[in-house]
Amino acid sequence: MRSAGELLALPIRHGDIELGRAVDVLLDLDAGRALGLEVRCRDDARRFLPFGAARLGPDGTQVGSPLALLDDLGFYRARGTGLRELRGTTVTQAGRPLGTFGDVLLTDAAAIAEVLVEGPRPVRVPYGPGLAFAGHRRVSAA
């Protein structure tokens, strides 16, 4: 598993060419998965990189083609919730406050496995029904 927040510091590359940097991870809270990355490209444009078109490595994210970076970021932003948008919101489970949202842990298939909750005692909470994020939709049963 990998922290979604770790992806924000890594470059997006095609071979040895750096195309840009991830600035947000877009999550589909209903489906319980990450949609992809919002990338600030070297030309200062912001584009969307679907997880299916990316290979995540320890030193960066590789794409098979620069064409994998899609111009219609607004389309994906409207369908997802940004990791940065969730940070600092209150996480509840079955109506009980757990603490402040910190991050999510993703599987290799981009599924949200756990939520990292900050508080007096930081905890890792399995992702699933009953979780809610203040100001955002409750996670529903599949």
* pLDDT tens-place values along the chain, 142 residues long: 899 999 997 899 999 999 999 999 999 998 999 999 999 999 999 999 999 999 988 888 999 999 999 999 999 999 999 999 999 999 999 889 999 999 999 998 999 999 999 988 889 999 998 899 987 765 655 4
Residue with tokens 């994210």: 61
34 with 102, same domain? Answer: no
Question: Which pLDDT value is given to residue 136?
Answer: 74
Total tally of structural domains belonging to the chain? 2
CATH code where residue 57 lies: 3.90.50.10
- Written as six digits, the tokens of 120 are 């007096």
What is residue 134's predicted lDDT score, i.e. its pLDDT? 86
Structure tokens at 47: 């584009």
Strands 112-118 and 123-126, bridge-based pairing: antiparallel
What is the distance of C-alpha 57 from the center of its chain?
16
Give the pLDDT confidence score for residue 122 in this predicted structure.
86
Provide the domain limits for residue 44. Answer: 2-83
Strand partners, 70: 48
* Alpha-carbon gap, residue 37 to 82, rounded angstroms: 9
User: How far is residue 30 CA from its own chain's centroid?
Assistant: 13
Rounded to whole angstroms, the Cα distance separating 90 from 115 reads 12
Whether 98 and 75 map to the same domain: the answer is no
Out of 62, 83, 104, a domain closes at 83
A 10 A CB-CB count for 140 gives: 12
State which H helix or E strand residue 101 sits in. strand 96-106
pTM (2 decimals)? 0.90
pLDDT of residue 61: 92
Is 139 among the domain residues? no
Residue 13 resides in a domain = yes
